[in-house]
Amino acid sequence: MALLSTAQVTVLQKIVKDASFRQAFTANPQKAVTDAGIQVSPADMQKLTKITPEAVGQLQAGVKSSKMGDADGTNTLLYAVAVATLIA
């Protein structure tokens, strides 16, 4: 499994937590990330753009339904699994 960069985790957390960002990301990932001011390397952005709108919905639903969460109410492990399966 590939390791996640801090930027990838930030984007995935924002997808889960922010409905307007999630909608913008599904329409245009590059623009959404740029508009949010998140600094992402070209390699990370290439991987993030592989996430389909359907996968975005599944990621958000999966984290939301998870009983195990980080201090901020999300689950970084789920992000790692999502990235490994969606963009590997």
Radius of gyration over every alpha carbon of the chain, rounded to an integer in angstroms: 12
For the segment 60-84, what is each residue's pLDDT rounded down to a tens digit?
A: 676 666 655 566 655 666 666 666 5
For the segment 5-37, what is each residue's pLDDT rounded down to a tens digit?
A: 888 888 888 888 888 999 999 999 999 999 999
pTM of the model: 0.72
